[in-house]
């Protein structure tokens, strides 16, 4: 209030009072005054007035006062301050006043002053600070001539603003630090230099030390690389400071109490410095806590080790050891804890904490903690030293104990994790072990029966630890305890009552985050509890009114630290929790308020309920809603009601959620959303219906969380708001999960305007573009991911809303600027159809994992064309088998993305292959045309006209290359250049150049091939068995041989055409596919040739006469009269006879008879010769050889027909379901839309990858189902010969028939009800008549009996 009053008076004074020299005309006057010694010494001068005015403005902005801060911002802008402070003539007194003003007005503020965090003004000041800090460090050691004003300015004003700026919560969101790291490091170096100087006073040294500590913490949190020598010096300083902190605190406290007066005298002397006393006490408590906490944790870890291995405490072979190995000790400990619940509450909590420690081990105990741990382990297990020394263990510590920790990887479904610690025990196994010994029963009994809040809290924490990761064995144990042992009614009543109490507490203590309540800030100091007022009125001590606020703030901080320390070290059950007694001392309007324990306990309760349903445990999901007890507690509805209450009930639709959701309770809201999501996923249709049909405003609150900006939380903690929106979108998706009706979707759309939902998607995308997704840490969710989840929600809702469906189409509104966002999300969203166990089909929409973008087009083409079909026309089986290799390829491609060179080579692998083949063709063309090489092809030997023609062709090909930059143009240009170079530089140099280029290109291709497939990462065996890699390696070897050995080796490179063309491969396959049949037929031919050779050798040896031609060199030995021909005997031996029959018989069209001597008809063996020739011709030539040719031709025809059929199948049938194109004729969905959107084969691969990369505890119901099917290698979840679009179309006519039958059935039921009513009325009338007759008969018999008695008398 005083600040506001002074600020108002200053503003009313106008320019006569507010004299600033910040314009061009007056700024030189300020410089002149600072340079004048007379002005500097004049106490009543203009310079002194200006300094005092700035100091007064700084005092008006000290603390958190938005009004004065805004006023002073307009009076003294930041750029004017920087111009004054950074000027060379500025004096220390002016600098101190201005820098203090910046600290209070721009840095230590209630709201963020974006100018100081986004501009370079503050960094310009920091550069000037570095100059001044170095100047005082380099000053003379003579203290008589020291500039004390400059030293005070550096050690007080500069260090305060540096500490305040980097410790401000607003600087955490600033990215300017990353671009000014050198200035930051220089600041730290300069501060450390000042600390090492001898002249600073203790108070100045303390201020510098605080500045160094702040800078070091910022460097550590922001991962700023500090020079090694500076880092070691800073660490040494903190170690020395840490050991002396307690002594210095006590000494300072003692000195302050001795120097300050005990009572306030009448003259107004200063009273006790209570704030200083309490701050020193707080330093002592925090220092002791920091020193002893690792040692306490180490001591507790030894107790946990003893519980893990109690059998090691006893001699080998003893009965006690055997009983401990069987779990007797742990079982008795757990059972004994139940009896301690009422008598020894402190010990009971200690046991619960220790059991939880068994599941949450800590490894880092510090140097002292590790030493203490070893000492205690040797003390307990020292008798086993000799046993474990043989195993190489240190100090006699056993392997399980020396490990010091257990794995904490999440478990799925009840299968043990493969991750384990050094002793081989996983968290899942420990959970199951504790569950078998009765831990789940202990948790159930304590929650049901305890009346102590601390025991209840520890029991919930232990239950969470037992269920962490979705342990199905523990879940089943809890279900058995609650259902079979009839404990559910009391158990759920506890949670129901807790939720009711929490809602009442929220309604009673609800606060609204509006700035209008800031005026009540000063009044809250008077609302302390009576016990504190009594102390304030104590006549022995007079406390100033202004000190009360300081005392309350320091006392609250000390109370919190002391309570947290006592609670962890010595958990007394009767401790006063934070927020009850201490809360009266703190500022109730600040953000540091803590919620009531009645509300905060709800977060672990909801987490426990969530873990009970983890991994979609349908039994427990239904059990939380309905227990089949006398009194039923619907915790699903109660959880929804609780969220409705904490979010302000009816304010959700009005966009006022920001008034109720703040930093204190946002984690509780998130947990509520996650718990409700787990209630519904699986799916659990009953819980989904229960949530959507509940009478509260829960659904409207969830919708409002997505659509509305949650201010002011979104201004300072956007990550928390994004988490809220993400969880809310997941909850709505879980409510609609696996629903075949539209009831829930229509309920959600009832209060949701489609345009608002689309705007939220676009805003999230734009926000991510502003952040570039680089400033988002791994722990926080990206705005783009949140927008993607909301887009999937909108996609699901669009099936029930035509307007929303139209608005989600990219480019639907040409005037809308957010089309880029819709295009981005559409391209990264996929949908598939799956088949459930009950054979019903379900559509799944999911985000495509980012890793799927690394799948190469070559791999897609290969899989699409090489996958084999099954008998149903589907390729799913073979495709599923290849999915693992494709996923590994994605991982490898993502790795090589970090190597830009290798990634570029791998991306253009097909280009390198084409270049290699063209080079091979060009080289062989040159060899074929000009071999043998000589000098006749030189430039000087060809005609000038031919040389000119080559130049003209080269120019024309160059022009064509520029006009038509296609492969054909490139080939023509390369051929022209080759011919021109042959006739210019020679043939041999041209071949060497082409060979070298081909070798280099093939090496590049091999590198890209290895980069694409990750060949060397698969082991040597995989490399040896990789046929394509060996083929390309052989190609490189042939290129080397052709370059360095002989040009003819280049001819082998042309065989690459076979590998590149599928038609040629089919030609080769026509021989190799039925190779066994061909080989056996050839063997039969050889046998026949052998038999015919034997017959010829025995009977027709003289007929095997062959005319041969002599070589030129042998002709000289013959006489001139002889002819050039001569006759030889070719069957003088059986071997020569076989060779002749095989060679000449098979190559001549008429068989072997064509080359034998022509016999005379008068010869005795003439007819035998005829039979011999005919048999050879018919058997060998016609039958056997044509059999071989027929097999080859038929195989080639089959391959060609298979190829044509395969191409037809690829064009006319679905890859996934096998449905043909004609099935979609005259349907609402065309065949092209079906294979692109409904049954896109790559979408199924992306979904399998999503299952692999997603955390199993985050699976939706369909994802869990598919993950289980994948683990079992069961492909029944793929649709076969089915599609939802066809089922819906075929069901339209059936639906009409069903509707007419339903109408007839309703009419019949109405008639039956009428007849039943009439029959009931008739039955009632008959019953009434029967009663009347009986009554009349009874009365008649009574009258007769009376008359008879009267007659007798």
604-649 pLDDT tens trace: 999 999 999 998 899 999 999 988 888 889 999 999 999 988 887 6
Q: What integer pLDDT is reported at residue 143 of this predicted model?
A: 64
C-alpha span between 519 and 526 (Å, rounded): 14
pLDDT at residue 689 greater than cutoff 60: yes
C-alpha span between 1186 and 1192 (Å, rounded): 10
pLDDT band at 538 (very low <50, low <70, confident <90, very high): very low
C-alpha span between 1115 and 1122 (Å, rounded): 10
pLDDT at residue 1296 greater than cutoff 70: no
Q: Which residue has the higher pLDDT, 474 or 408?
A: 474
Identify which of 804-818, 935-949, 962-976 has the greatest average pLDDT: 804-818
pLDDT digits (tens, 9 = 90+) for 1163-1221: 888 888 899 989 999 998 898 888 888 888 888 888 888 888 878 887 888 888 888 88
C-alpha span between 923 and 1046 (Å, rounded): 12
Q: Average pLDDT of 1112-1136?
A: 70
Q: What integer pLDDT is reported at residue 361 of this predicted model?
A: 66
Instruction: Pick the range with the lowest mean pLDDT from 258-262, 1156-1160, 1246-1250, 1288-1292.
Output: 258-262
Task: Please list, in sequence order, all residues whose beta carbon lies within 8 angstroms of the beta carbon of residue 548, skipping any fewer than 6 positions away.
Answer: 525, 536
Phi and psi dihedrals of 1105, rounded to 5? -115, 130
H-type alpha helices, 1183-1283: 1185-1212, 1231-1233, 1241-1253, 1261-1271
> What percent of the chain is modeled with pLDDT above 70?
77
Q: Which residue has the higher pLDDT, 712 or 548?
A: 712
Exposure string of 1289-1313, with b = 16+ CB inside 10 Å and e = fewer, is eeeeeeeeeeeeeeeeeeeeeeeee
C-alpha span between 473 and 496 (Å, rounded): 25
Instruction: Name the residue among 77, 72, 83 with its Cα closest to residue 109.
Output: 72
Q: Average pLDDT of 840-865?
A: 88
Q: Which residue has the tokens 């990634």?
A: 903
Q: Which residue has the higher pLDDT, 751 or 1270?
A: 1270
Q: For the full predicted model, state whether its pTM sits above 0.75.
A: no
Q: Average pLDDT of 493-518?
A: 76
CA 1150 to chain centroid, in Å, comes to 77
Q: What integer pLDDT is reported at residue 773 of this predicted model?
A: 52
Q: Kindly tell me the sign of the dihedral angle through the C-alpha atoms of 300, 302, 306, 308.
A: positive
pLDDT at residue 475 greater than cutoff 80: yes
354 burial level (CB within 10 Å; 0-12, 13-18, 19+): middle
Instruction: Pick the range with the lowest mean pLDDT from 29-33, 796-800, 1016-1020, 1253-1257.
Output: 1016-1020
Q: What integer pLDDT is reported at residue 667 of this predicted model?
A: 92
pLDDT at residue 916 greater than cutoff 90: no
Q: What integer pLDDT is reported at residue 272 of this predicted model?
A: 54
Q: Average pLDDT of 928-945?
A: 61
Phi and psi dihedrals of 843, rounded to 5? -95, 135
> What percent of the chain is modeled with pLDDT above 90?
14
pLDDT at residue 1244 greater than cutoff 80: yes
pLDDT at residue 162 greater than cutoff 90: no
pLDDT digits (tens, 9 = 90+) for 305-352: 777 778 777 777 777 778 777 777 888 888 888 788 777 888 888 888
Q: State how far the alpha carbon of 1183 is from the alpha carbons of 84, 208, 219, 498, 1084, in Å.
A: 110, 106, 89, 95, 11
pLDDT at residue 900 greater than cutoff 60: yes
Q: What integer pLDDT is reported at residue 308 of this predicted model?
A: 75
pLDDT digits (tens, 9 = 90+) for 169-195: 777 666 677 777 788 888 888 888 888
Instruction: Name the residue among 63, 62, 78 with its Cα closest to residue 113.
Output: 78
Phi and psi dihedrals of 1127, rounded to 5? -105, 135
Q: What integer pLDDT is reported at residue 532 of this predicted model?
A: 36
pLDDT at residue 87 greater than cutoff 70: yes
Q: What integer pLDDT is reported at residue 874 of this predicted model?
A: 63
Q: What integer pLDDT is reported at residue 537 of this predicted model?
A: 36
Mean pLDDT of the chain: 77
Instruction: Pick the range with the lowest mean pLDDT from 237-251, 354-368, 587-601, 960-974.
Output: 237-251
Q: What integer pLDDT is reported at residue 255 of this predicted model?
A: 59
H or E stretch at 147:
none
928 burial level (CB within 10 Å; 0-12, 13-18, 19+): exposed
Task: Please list, in sequence order, all residues whose beta carbon lies within 8 angstroms of the beta carbon of residue 429, skipping any fewer than 6 positions away.
Answer: 416
């Amino acid at each position: 209030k005083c600040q506001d009053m002074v600020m108002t008076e200053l503003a009313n004074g106008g320019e006569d009072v507010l004299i600033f020299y910040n314009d061009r005309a007056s700024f030189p006057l300020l410089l002149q005054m600072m340079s004048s010694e007379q002005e500097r010494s004049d106490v009543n001068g203009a310079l002194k007035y200006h300094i005092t005015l700035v100091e007064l403005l700084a005092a008006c902005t000290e603390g958190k006062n938005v009004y004065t801060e805004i006023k002073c911002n307009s009076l003294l802008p930041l750029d004017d301050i920087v111009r004054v402070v950074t000027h060379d003539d500025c004096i220390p007194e002016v600098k101190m006043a201005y820098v203090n003003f910046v600290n209070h007005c721009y840095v230590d503020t209630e709201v963020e002053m974006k100018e100081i965090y986004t501009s370079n003004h503050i960094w310009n000041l920091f550069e000037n600070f570095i100059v001044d800090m170095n100047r005082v460090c380099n000053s003379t050691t003579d203290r008589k001539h020291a500039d004390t004003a400059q030293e005070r300015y550096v050690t007080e004003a500069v260090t305060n603003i540096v500490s305040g700026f980097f410790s401000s919560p607003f600087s955490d969101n600033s990215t300017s630090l990353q671009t000014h790291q050198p200035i930051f490091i220089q600041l730290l170096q300069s501060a450390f230099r000042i600390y090492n100087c001898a002249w600073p006073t203790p108070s100045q040294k303390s201020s510098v030390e605080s500045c160094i500590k702040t800078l070091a913490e910022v460097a550590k949190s922001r991962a700023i690389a500090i020079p090694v020598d500076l880092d070691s010096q800073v660490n040494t300083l903190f170690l020395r400071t840490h050991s002396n902190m307690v002594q210095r605190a006590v000494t300072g406290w003692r000195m302050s109490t001795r120097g300050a007066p005990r009572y306030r005298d009448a003259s107004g002397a200063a009273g006790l410095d209570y704030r200083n006393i309490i701050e020193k006490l707080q330093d002592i408590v925090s220092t002791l806590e920091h020193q002893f906490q690792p040692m306490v944790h180490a001591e507790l870890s030894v107790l946990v080790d003893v519980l893990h291995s109690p059998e090691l405490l006893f001699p080998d072979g003893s009965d006690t050891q055997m009983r401990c190995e069987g779990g007797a000790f742990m079982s008795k400990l757990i059972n004994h804890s139940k009896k301690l619940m009422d008598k020894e509450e402190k010990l009971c909590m200690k046991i619960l904490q220790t059991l939880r420690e068994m599941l949450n081990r800590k490894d880092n105990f510090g140097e002292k903690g590790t030493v203490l741990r070893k000492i205690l382990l040797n003390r307990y297990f020292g008798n086993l030293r000799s046993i474990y020394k043989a195993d190489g263990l240190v100090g006699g510590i056993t392997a399980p104990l020396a490990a010091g920790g257990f794995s904490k990887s999440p478990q799925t479904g009840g299968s043990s994790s493969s991750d384990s610690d050094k002793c081989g025990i996983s968290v899942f196994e420990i959970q199951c072990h504790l569950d078998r010994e009765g831990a789940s029963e202990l948790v159930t009994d304590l929650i049901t029966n305890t009346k102590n809040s601390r025991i209840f809290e520890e029991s919930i924490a232990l239950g969470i630890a037992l269920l962490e990761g979705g342990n199905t064995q523990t879940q089943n144990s809890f279900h058995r305890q609650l259902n079979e042992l009839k404990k559910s009614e009391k158990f759920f009543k506890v949670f129901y009552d807790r939720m009711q109490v929490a809602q009442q507490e929220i309604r009673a203590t609800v606060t609204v985050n509006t700035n209008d309540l800031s005026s009540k800030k000063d009044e809250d100091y008077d609302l302390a509890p009576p016990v504190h007022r009594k102390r304030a009125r104590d006549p022995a001590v007079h406390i100033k009114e202004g000190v009360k606020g300081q005392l309350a703030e320091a006392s609250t901080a000390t109370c919190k630290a002391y309570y947290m320390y006592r609670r962890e070290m010595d958990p007394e059950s009767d401790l006063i929790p934070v927020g009850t007694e201490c809360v009266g001392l703190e500022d109730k309007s600040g953000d540091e308020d803590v919620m009531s324990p009645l509300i905060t306990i709800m977060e672990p309760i909801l987490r426990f309920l969530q873990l009970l349903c983890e991994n979609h445990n349908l039994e427990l999901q239904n059990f939380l809603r309905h227990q089949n007890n006398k009194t039923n507690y619907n915790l699903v509805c109660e959880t929804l009601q609780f969220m409705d209450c904490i979010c302000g009930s009816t304010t959700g639709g009005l966009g006022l959620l920001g008034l109720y959701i703040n930093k204190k309770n946002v984690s509780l809201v998130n947990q509520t959303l996650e718990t409700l999501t787990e209630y519904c996923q699986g799916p659990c249709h009953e819980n989904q219906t229960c949530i959507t049909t509940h009478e509260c405003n829960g659904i409207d609150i969830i919708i409002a969380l997505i659509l509305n900006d949650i201010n002011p939380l979104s201004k300072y903690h956007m990550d928390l708001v994004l988490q809220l929106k993400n969880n809310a979108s997941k909850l709505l998706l879980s409510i609609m999960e696996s629903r075949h009706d539209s009831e829930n979707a229509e309920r959600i759309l009832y209060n949701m305007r489609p345009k608002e939902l689309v705007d939220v998607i676009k805003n999230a995308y734009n926000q991510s573009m502003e952040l570039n997704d680089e400033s988002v840490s791994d722990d926080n969710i990206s705005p783009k991911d949140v927008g993607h989840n909301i887009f999937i929600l909108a996609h699901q809702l669009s099936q029930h809303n035509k307007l929303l469906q139209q608005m989600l189409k990219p480019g639907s509104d040409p005037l809308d600027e957010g089309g880029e966002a819709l295009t981005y999300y559409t391209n990264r969203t996929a949908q598939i159809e799956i088949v459930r166990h009950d054979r019903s089909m379900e559509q799944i929409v999911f985000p495509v994992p980012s890793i799927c973008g690394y799948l190469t087009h070559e791999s897609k083409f290969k899989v699409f064309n090489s996958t084999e079909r099954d008998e149903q026309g589907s390729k799913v089986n073979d495709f599923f088998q290849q999915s693992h290799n494709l996923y590994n390829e994605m991982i490898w491609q993502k790795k090589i993305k970090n190597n830009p060179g290798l990634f570029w080579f791998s991306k253009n692998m097909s280009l390198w292959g084409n270049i290699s083949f063209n080079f091979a063709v060009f080289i062989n063309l040159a060899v074929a045309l000009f071999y043998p090489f000589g000098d006749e092809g030189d430039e000087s030997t060809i005609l000038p006209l031919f040389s000119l023609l080559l130049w003209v062709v080269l120019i024309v090909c160059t022009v064509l290359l520029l006009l038509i930059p296609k492969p054909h143009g490139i080939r023509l240009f390369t051929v022209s250049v080759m011919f021109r170079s042959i006739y210019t530089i020679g043939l041999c140099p041209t071949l060497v150049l082409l060979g070298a280029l081909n070798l280099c290109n093939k090496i590049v291709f091999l590198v890209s091939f290895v980069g694409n497939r990750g060949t060397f990462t698969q082991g040597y065996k995989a490399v040896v068995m990789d046929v394509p890699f060996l083929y390309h390696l052989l190609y490189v070897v042939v290129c080397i041989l052709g370059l360095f050995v002989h040009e003819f080796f280049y001819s082998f490179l042309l065989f690459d055409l076979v590998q590149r063309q599928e038609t040629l491969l089919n030609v080769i396959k026509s021989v190799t596919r039925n190779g066994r049949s061909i080989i056996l037929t050839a063997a039969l031919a050889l046998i026949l040739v052998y038999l015919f050779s034997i017959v010829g050798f025995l009977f027709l040896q003289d007929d095997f006469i062959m005319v041969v031609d002599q070589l030129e060199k042998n002709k000289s030995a013959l006489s001139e009269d002889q002819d050039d021909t001569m006759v030889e005997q070719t069957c003088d031996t059986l071997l020569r006879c076989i060779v002749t029959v095989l060679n000449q018989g098979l190559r001549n069209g008429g068989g072997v008879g064509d080359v034998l001597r022509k016999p005379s008809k008068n010869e005795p063996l003439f007819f035998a010769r005829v039979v011999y020739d005919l048999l050879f011709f018919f058997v060998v030539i016609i039958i056997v050889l044509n059999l071989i040719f027929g097999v080859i031709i038929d195989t080639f025809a089959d391959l060609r027909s298979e190829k044509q059929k395969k191409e037809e199948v690829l064009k006319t049938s679905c890859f996934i379901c096998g449905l043909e194109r004609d099935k979609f004729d005259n349907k609402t969905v065309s065949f092209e839309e079906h294979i692109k959107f409904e049954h896109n084969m790559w979408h199924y691969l992306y979904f399998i990858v999503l299952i692999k990369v997603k955390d199993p505890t985050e699976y939706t119901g369909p994802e869990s189902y598919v993950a289980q099917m994948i683990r079992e290698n069961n492909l029944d979840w793929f649709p076969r010969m089915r599609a939802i679009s066809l089922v819906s179309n075929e069901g339209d006519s059936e639906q009409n028939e069903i509707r007419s039958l339903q109408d007839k059935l309703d009419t019949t039921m109405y008639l039956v009800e009428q007849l039943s009513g009439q029959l009931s009325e008739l039955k009632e009338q008959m019953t009434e008549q029967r009663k009347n007759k009986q009554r009349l008969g009874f009365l008649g018999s009574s009258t007769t009996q009376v008359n008879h008695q009267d007659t007798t008398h």
